[in-house]
Amino acid sequence: MLAVNYTNLRQDLKTYCDKANDDFETIIVTRKNGGNVVLISENEYNNMLENLFVRSNPEYYDKLMESINQLKAGGFTKRELLDE
């Protein structure tokens, strides 16, 4: 996680956008009068929304956790995909 003030961010916006996208870096943009903001990549944002959605539905989350536990316990069959 990086912290940068608003002025420095404006001067080097491309670099910070690249860090957010390429390095999955979270950037806290500080402002003199408070009201800081967070800069993250679109992929990271979408991932957070998806996680919030999954965790907000207890039935879906329980099924997902059950599947993960089955996978960890070796309860799966590996198959090859056929080209058609």
Residues 29-48 pLDDT 10s: 999 998 999 999 999 999 99
Model pLDDT, residue 69: 94
Which pLDDT band, with edges at 50, 70 and 90, does 26 fall under?
Answer: very high
CATH number of the 2-40 domain: 3.40.1620.10
Evaluate the CA torsion angle 56, 62, 66, 67 in order and state its sign: negative
- Higher pLDDT: 12 or 75? It is 12
Helices 58-72 and 42-56: crossing angle, nearest 10°?
A: 100
Q: What percent of the chain lies above the pLDDT cut of 70?
A: 100
CA nearest 19: which of 3, 5, 7?
Answer: 3
List the domain boundaries for the chain.
2-40, 43-72
In the chain the beta strands, taken as DSSP E runs, fall at 2-5, 27-30, 37-39
